[in-house]
Amino acid sequence: KIIKKSKSNKAIAEKYNTYFAKEFKPFDPIIKRTEVTVVDSEKNQFKISKGAPQVILALLPDHEKEKLSKELNSLIDEFASKGFRTLGLAKTDHTEIWQYVGLIPLFDPPREDSAQTIKTARDMGVDVKMVTGDHTAIGKQIAQKVNLKNNILEVSAFLDKPDREAAKIIEKADGFAQVFPEHKYKIVELLQERNHIVGMTGDGVNDAPALKKADVGIAVDGATDAAKSAADIVLTSPGLSVIIDAIKESRKIFQRMNSYAIYRIAETIRVLLFITLAILVFNFYPVTAIMIVLLAFFNDAPIMAIAFDNVKYSKDPEKWNMRVVLSMATFLGLIGVVSSFGIFYIGQITLHLSKEAVQTFIFLKLAIAGHLTIFVTRTRGPFWSIKPSGTMFWSAVATKILATFVAVYGWFIAPISWDLALLVWGYALTAFLITDFLKVKIYKLLDHSDVIFSKQNFLRRYYGYENK
């Protein structure tokens, strides 16, 4: 039943209580409207359709379209100027010819937190664009309420233009109105062709193609099953602020991955190059097989703790800069090689220790310095600029203490005295402070050279020459 009986409108309810919906067609993104077939008490049958005003207008005979078009557009503009969306409503008569019944104004204000969410996103380097099927006037009014810029264009602004020109229009615009599903897909596609990483939010069936095309499709709370299946992420709470939280967390994860990559490469260079050179140049095996196993064991806990480390997310979008990663890792690795040969020199030449004691001497230095390297790689500034998490700090401290006991009490390896162990600790901490100081300087050099490198690439790519 279309209208149920109500006490306040008893007469109306009685009049329409005999109308029944025989067949209902939900919204179809192809025809862009809903449709219901209705039967009255006298078995008369007619159809009612609801959808975008212009779509409903297209159902009418040509002479009716011409007669109503101007008036309809005027009413739509009037409603839109007041922030109302409109739906068109039409029904068929006894000859099955469609007649325009009227417009249904709808008011759908944005969430209260939308303006702050958009501001936060922009502060984090995310360019937010509004893509809506609403009238341009409504789009501009909503943009004003949520602190978007007012450059809201009709979708026709980029249609029928070459892709390169259309992409530039899309990049400069703050949003588009009167958009159909195929236009959303095209907007995503053109932005991707300009090397943008595109995220797309949506909730309806008509959003599914664009959600699927986007690098990150996000189905908002209450989205249809079609939108959820096409999306990469499904939100279970209302609002878009959760997206900002996801961006922050993902950038933190990237920072941890970046520090781990530098640490892992630096350690590989430090240990392998030192052992190889010690064997080839001095014909000396600096560590035994059991020591290598112990080093790997002691490194596991601090490495796993990197996942729980405290980091500051970047205010700008992140991407891998392998030039910086490899340069810094190589520098730290080579510094580690030099400092390892330093402890080797002290143990064998200065202190005249036995071969077994020198090996334990070097083992303890590699264990302590390796864990200290984690604290060097986790920040671009001085190691104290970001406080490490308790999990990471204590896991590193505990394994270093355990390695010290192994070296002093000779568990599985030759023992050394507490005096020698303290000497290694002092040497490793001194090398750590020097390395951290040099790291800050190297990062400044890399950042400066990276700016020049990027500028040269830009000039070469777009203008075909370099800045001499």
Following DSSP, what letter does each residue of 413-431 receive, concatenated? S----HHHHHHHHHHHHHH
CATH topology assigned to domain 245-462: Calcium-transporting ATPase, transmembrane domain (1.20.1110)
Residue 11 confidence (pLDDT): 55
**Comma-separated ranges of CATH 3.40.1110.10 domains in the chain:** 10-104
CATH code assigned to 114-240: 3.40.50.1000
Residue 58 confidence (pLDDT): 87
Mean pLDDT, to the nearest integer, of 99-103?
88
Distance CA 325, CA 241 (A): 32
85: three-class secondary structure by DSSP: strand
Mean pLDDT, to the nearest integer, of 264-293?
90
362: three-class secondary structure by DSSP: helix
pLDDT confidence tier of residue 1, bands split at 50, 70 and 90: very low
Q: What is the torsion angle, in degrees rounded to the nearest 10, for the CA atoms of residue 421, residue 424, residue 429 and residue 430? A: 140
Which tokens belong to 439?
Answer: 């790291």
CATH superfamily to which 10-104 belongs? Calcium-transporting ATPase, cytoplasmic domain N (3.40.1110.10)
Return phi, psi of residue 78, to 5°: -65, -45
DSSP string covering 283-295, please? ----S-HHHHHHH
Mean pLDDT, to the nearest integer, of 178-204?
89
Residue 112 burial by Cβ neighbours in a 10 Å radius (0-12, 13-18, 19+): exposed
**Residue environment code for 322-340, b if the CB has 16+ CB neighbours within 10 A, otherwise e:** eebbebbbebbbebbbebb
Summary mean pLDDT of the chain: 84
Query: Is it the case that residue 10 has pLDDT exceeding 80?
Result: no
Beta carbons of 350 and 372 less than 8 angstroms apart: no
pTM of the model: 0.72
Mean pLDDT, to the nearest integer, of 147-157?
84
**Comma-separated ranges of CATH 1.20.1110.10 domains in the chain:** 245-462
pLDDT confidence tier of residue 453, bands split at 50, 70 and 90: very low
% of residues, the chain, pLDDT over 90? 22
Distance CA 166, CA 163 (A): 5
344 contacts: CB under 8 Å, gap ≥ 6? 278, 282, 284, 286, 358, 361, 362
38: three-class secondary structure by DSSP: strand
**Comma-separated ranges of CATH 3.40.50.1000 domains in the chain:** 114-240
Residue 462 confidence (pLDDT): 41
Handedness of CA 59, 63, 64, 69 (dihedral sign): positive
150: three-class secondary structure by DSSP: coil
Mean pLDDT, to the nearest integer, of 247-263?
91
More confident residue, 285 or 460: 285
Q: In what order do the strands lie in the sheet with 175-177?
A: 130-131, 175-177, 152-154
